[in-house]
Structure 1
Amino acid sequence: MTVRAVLFDWEGTLARQGVEPGPAACAAVADYAARNLGVDARPADLERAFTAVLPHRSPSGGEGAPEIRGVLGQAFTWLGWPASAGDVEAAARLFFEAASRGLQVFDDARAVLASLKYRGYRAGVVTNSIFPADYWRPLVNSLGLAGYLETFVSSADVGLAKPNPAPLRRALADLGVPPHEAIFVGDTLATDIAGARAAGLRAILLDRHGRRREAAGYLVIQRLSALADVLGEGLSPLAGP
């Protein structure tokens, strides 16, 4: 079977957080609120507000896709902080900058993406994220990956999150590739593998710690470089989705 495109999950697959992002992000927004909204803002206030509003924005089943501006807007309202749309946008950008500061690309990711491009495969990212793709693109560019990724789809833009197939279908539409000519690589069974199969893609689970075994419907690899072997074998080890 011909494979034209390889889609990847983002965090845990191509990149990882070097530090817990929440505290720094909440601190950045609290500082903005204290300076610009005239409130006595503390990071702990935002943490409480997020706990209060997020359950109402994420439907059961894990498919809901909250977006940072909506989350912050509700959090500010819950706290009674007066904020304009411009304030929310500015705070959201600061939140993203602080949350993504410790992001690191896995050692094998860049080489694999470069190899895929050299061999003529098209590549993209589909991520469950509260941040829209236009937040991510400058960072992806600064990490040196933009030249390898033709699409970057965030659940925040689609309104639905994996395992719902909608984000994956958006990426396939961006590439103009049908599901049966694409594979998806991710590190979680419940969202990545289930989402890929729901969208009709062949699925590969990246298990860097070697804890999972292959099962019907997906292949398991322990390193991204193993994709070269899988693609070289024409995907024969993979059962159909």
Structure 2
Amino acid sequence: MRGSVSSPRLDGDPVRAILFDYGDTLVTHHRPVEALQRAYEEIAERLAAALHLAVPSAADLLIAVHDRVDGAVAAHQQSGALEEIDIVEEHRAAYRDLGLHPADELVEQLMGVEQQAWWRGATVGDDVVATLTVLRRAGLRVGLISNAAYLSPSMHGQLAHLGLARLLDSATFSGEVGWRKPSPAIFERALRDLGAGPQSTIMVGDSVATDIAGARAAGLRTVRLREHVDDPASGPAADAVIDRLLDLPGLLGVAPPP
């Protein structure tokens, strides 16, 4: 099935770089139930060994720690706050409320175990690898900018696990910067990481409020992707709207993947 491009208005400086959103743009996510259960079995064992006391079951820890923190992250996102949530402190607080006081180093190690389970909940979208490959072969710099509060090693590890790290010139996460899209601060950092200027860079993402509004405020041209989510939110119009990521090379005058 062929896609379509709406309102193609990419006038201006030649496009030399592209920043992509992550979730619902390059990947989709689902809750990896079995992987999380196995992760929390390991977490329970490591807590018991380190603290020398009885700890809640893996199932209870999953609810009391993972689901609590996940809810806090979702609420923070819904609030529209620009400063990123302190994900480590959220985990510490969850353990404290269970009467558990693991050392900070152990907390971060356990977070890593949890996040590796989520690697199995991420699926690379159709045609992503082919599209990124042809864009880079055309000489374009390709970067990632994502609202992801989690620890930097976990997020970069996920990119490597999915085979995306080798296709990106940079990857910038809100958990590293301390600010979320649409804050100008994360766009400034992402452009610096990518080695590109705003006038020659476009932003590709699904969210009107974070991707399109944030990028436009930072001086980038924008492309809204509605392959996975057709965001109904009001806000600034993107310079172009595409149905599939595979439509992007043609919009930029690059030969599409075979």
SS in structure 2 of the partner of residue 80 of structure 1: coil
Q: 1:190 to 1:53 in 2, by over 3 A?
A: closer
The two structures have a TM-score, normalised by structure 2, of 0.78
1:11 and 2:23 are equivalent in the alignment: yes
What is the distance in 2 between the residues matched to 1:155 and 1:131? 8
Code of the residue aligned with 2:247 in structure 1: it is A
Matched, 1:150 2:161: no
After superposition, what is the alpha-carbon deviation per residue over 1:81-104, rounded to whole angstroms, capped at 9, x for unaligned?
A: 111012101111011011221211
Q: Compute the displacement of 1:125 (Å).
A: 0.5
Contact 1:210 1:222 (8 Å CA) reproduced: no
Matches of 2:187 and 2:155, distance apart in 1: 17
Describe the shift of the 1:139–1:78 C-alpha distance in structure 2 as closer, same or farther (beyond 3 A): same
1:53 is displaced (CA, Å) by 5.7
Unmatched segments (≥5 aa) in structure 2: 1-12
Give a deviation string over 1:20-40, Cα, whole Å, max 9, x none.
147854763465145334343
| 8 A contact 1:133–1:152 mirrored in 2 | no
- Alignment equivalent of 1:132, drawn from 151, 157, 168: 151
Q: Distance in 2 between matches of 1:10 and 1:210?
A: 13
Task: Return the offset for 1:218.
Answer: 3.0
Q: 8 Å contact 2:142–2:168 — kept in the other structure? A: yes
Decide which of 2, 17, 28 is 2:39's aligned counterpart: 28
- Counterpart residue number, 1:219: 240
Identify if the C-alpha distance between structure 1 residues 48 and 178 changes in structure 2 by more than 3 Å, giving closer, same or farther: closer
2:65 is aligned to 46
Q: CA deviation at 1:161?
A: 0.6
Contact conserved, 1:4 with 1:122, CA < 8 A, in 2? Answer: yes
Q: Given the two structures, how large is their TM-score scaled by the length of structure 1?
A: 0.83
1:206 equivalenced with 2:225 (yes/no): yes
Gap regions ≥5 residues in structure 1: 234-241
CA distance in 2, matches of 1:166, 1:220: 25
Higher relative contact order (CA 8 A, sep 6+): 2
Structure 2 partner of 1:99 = 118
1:160 Cα deviation after fit: 0.9
* Runs of 4+ with >6 A deviation: 55-59, 212-215
Match of 1:121 in 2: 140
Contact 1:12 1:187 in 2 (8 A): yes
State the identity as a percent: 34
Match of 1:192, SS? helix
Q: 1:39 to 1:125 in 2, by over 3 A?
A: farther
1:14–1:67 CA distance, 2 compared to 1 (3 A): farther
Tell me the number of residue pairs that the alignment of Structure 1 and Structure 2 aligns.
Answer: 232
* Equivalent position of 2:106 in the other structure: 87
CA RMSD of aligned residues (A): 2.9
Corresponding residue for residue 72 of structure 1 = 91
Give distance in 1, aligned partners of 2:32 and 2:85: 17
Which deviations, in whole Å up to 9, do the C-alpha atoms of 1:2-22 show, x marking residues without a partner? 1110010111100112x3147
Query: The residue matched to 2:97 in structure 1 has which SS?
Result: helix
